């Protein structure tokens, strides 16, 4: 289960990399990808052939749902 970190979004970009998400949740990048396939974590968006990112709004909604379920 991800640990909750204060999610101040004032300066946050619209999209996050797997590295940024791993830092946010305190896990490694492989865990983020595993959550996509096993835990209903939001699917990433392909912004270009070499760039896959997650929408922060989707991640925040998932995180809020996890907190409510706990």
Run means of pLDDT, 10 residues per run, the chain, 70 residues: 50 91 97 94 96 96 90
| Domain membership flag for residue 6 | no
Euclidean distance between CA atoms 3 and 41, whole angstroms: 14
| Domain membership flag for residue 22 | yes
| Domain membership flag for residue 10 | no
| Domain membership flag for residue 9 | no
| Domain membership flag for residue 5 | no
The total of structural domains in the chain comes to 1
What phi, psi does 8 have (nearest 5°)?
A: -70, 125
pLDDT at 5: 46
Give the pTM.
Answer: 0.78
Mapped to the 3 state alphabet, what secondary structure does the chain carry? CCCCCCCCCCCCCCEECHHHHHHHHCCCHHHHHHHHHHCCCCCCEEEECCEEEEEHHHHHHHHHHHHHHC
Euclidean distance between CA atoms 22 and 63, whole angstroms: 13
| Domain membership flag for residue 7 | no
Range of the domain at 46: 15-69
């Amino acid at each position: 289960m991800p640990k909750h970190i204060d999610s101040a979004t004032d300066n946050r970009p619209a999209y996050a990399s797997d590295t940024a998400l791993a830092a946010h949740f305190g896990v490694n990048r492989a865990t983020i990808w595993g959550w996509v396939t096993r835990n209903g974590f939001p699917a990433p968006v392909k912004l270009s052939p070499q760039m896959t990112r997650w929408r922060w709004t989707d991640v925040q909604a998932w995180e809020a749902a996890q907190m409510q379920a706990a």
